[in-house]
Amino acid sequence: MRLAGKVALISGGARGMGAAEARLFAREGAQVVIGDLLEAEGRGVEAEITAKGGEAVFARLDVTSESDWQRAVGVAQSRFGRLNILVNNAGIGGGARIEDTTLEDWDRMMAVNATGVFLGTKSVIAAMRRAGGGSIINISSQLGLVGTDNSSPQYQASKGAVRLLTKATAIQYAREGIRANSVHPGPIVTPMTERRRADPAQRQLMISRIPLGRYGEPDEVAYGVLYLASDESAYVTGSELVIDGGWTAQ
């Protein structure tokens, strides 16, 4: 088991990539805290994991709330005794040109996608220090590396911010054994991409930009996150793991 003896907190763990990560981590021996606002779905993932002999607990988590983060970290420590891994997975998407984007839209997405990662990172440092180190994995996007014409400016800006915050974290805490890396998925089959996938023209446009010719699956991202969470990546920090079907290779 690649995560035996480790405790992980995953934001946005109730569905999509976060749920895939939670299930995979549990299969690999981790004790998992599923953080999300979607309580029914989060408790469903918890029940699924425990029914298969794993250990998991749901914690209500609004990633824009510092007190929610503190409570979620507290759940990990009180239930499992420590915290070794954080996956900042929660995020929201959208599409609009700059001139059609409201300040409210901008602020909301930056609060979830960028500030949420900052608050999560800030909230786990002390716990990871007590544990003797840890791994922080921040889910960015291929659009945190390159621009595109059919995504919102705030989405791309927020995901670019995640990339640089990850590097700052890696540098500041490397001497304490706390690693930080970002993962950059391309289009993945999740609830976030459902509307675009349901539109034949939009789906074909997206697929035309992916050299592998298809959307990725949540497990294909989860296995990359697993590597960064495990001791197999002990010499990896401040890096980007791109899982995008070749989008950024063009």
- 115-130 residues labelled b (16+ CB within 10 A) or e (exposed): bbbbbbbebbbebbee
Catalytic-residue membership of 155? yes
Q: Which of 155, 173, 223, 235 is catalytic?
A: 155
On the 0-12 / 13-18 / 19+ scale of CB atoms within 10 A, 80 is buried
What does the DSSP 8-state code read for residue 188?
B
Measure the CA angle with vertex 163, ends 212 and 102; round to 5°.
Answer: 90
At residue 136, the 3 state secondary structure works out as: strand
Measure the CA angle with vertex 133, ends 129 and 138; round to 5°.
Answer: 100
Nearest 5°: phi and psi at 178?
Answer: -105, 115
Distance of CA 227 to the CA centre of its chain: 14
> Which of the residues are catalytic?
155
